[in-house]
């Protein structure tokens, strides 16, 4: 019984250690969200959406435009619409059209779940599970 308790404590310490630095999990989820966003943007009625999505990249856990200035303005306007740049789809949408909704997509959530499962599997590897 005491060995089982020690064993369980070692497993939990190892998992806790893996979860103290969630950067890999966050990065994997951001990559999945971006992949889904690019797919969603390709179906938007404006040509700027796929171009803007193609200009995005993942840095750590953040999805950012590859360049500031006009490319950033295009990405923002393609996602939320614009009162300044009238070539973007109407109406203005505070919750976004393709990037923001992608964070809730089943494929992105599954990718995040898979990344967590991989982390847990690595943490318990060698413990006989």
Instruction: Tell whether 128 is covered by a domain.
Output: no
- Write down the pTM of the prediction: 0.75
Sequence-separated (6 or more) residues with CB below 8 Å from residue 32: 107, 108, 110, 111, 112
Sequence-separated (6 or more) residues with CB below 8 Å from residue 82: 76, 88, 92
Instruction: Tell whether 95 is covered by a domain.
Output: yes
The first and second tokens of residue 94, run together, are: 């505070």
State pLDDT tens for residues 43-99. Answer: 887 778 888 888 899 999 999 888 766 777 888 888 887 777 777 766 667 788 888
Instruction: Tell whether 55 is covered by a domain.
Output: yes
Output the CA–CA distances (angstroms, integers) from residue 74 to 38, 55, 65, 67, in the order listed. Answer: 15, 10, 9, 11
Instruction: Tell whether 1 is covered by a domain.
Output: no
pLDDT (average), residues 28-33: 93
User: Structural domain tally of the chain?
Assistant: 1
Instruction: Tell whether 7 is covered by a domain.
Output: no
Instruction: Tell whether 15 is covered by a domain.
Output: no
Instruction: Tell whether 94 is covered by a domain.
Output: yes
Greatest CA separation for the chain: 70
Percent of the chain's residues with pLDDT above 70: 89
The residue range of the domain holding 103 is: 23-115
pLDDT at 11: 78
Residue 10 pLDDT more than 60? yes
Instruction: Tell whether 75 is covered by a domain.
Output: yes
């Amino acid at each position: 019984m005491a060995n089982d308790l020690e064993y369980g404590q070692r497993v939990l310490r190892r998992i806790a250690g893996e979860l103290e630095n969630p950067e890999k999990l966050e990065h994997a989820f951001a990559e999945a969200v971006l992949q889904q966003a690019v797919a969603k943007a390709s179906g938007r009625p404006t040509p700027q959406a796929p171009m803007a999505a193609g200009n995005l990249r993942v840095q750590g856990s953040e999805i950012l435009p590859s360049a500031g200035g006009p490319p950033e303005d295009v990405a923002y306007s393609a996602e939320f619409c614009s009162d300044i740049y009238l070539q973007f789809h109407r109406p203005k949408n505070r919750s976004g059209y393709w990037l923001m909704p992608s964070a809730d997509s089943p494929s992105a959530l599954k990718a995040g779940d898979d990344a967590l499962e991989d982390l847990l599997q690595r943490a318990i590897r060698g413990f006989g599970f």
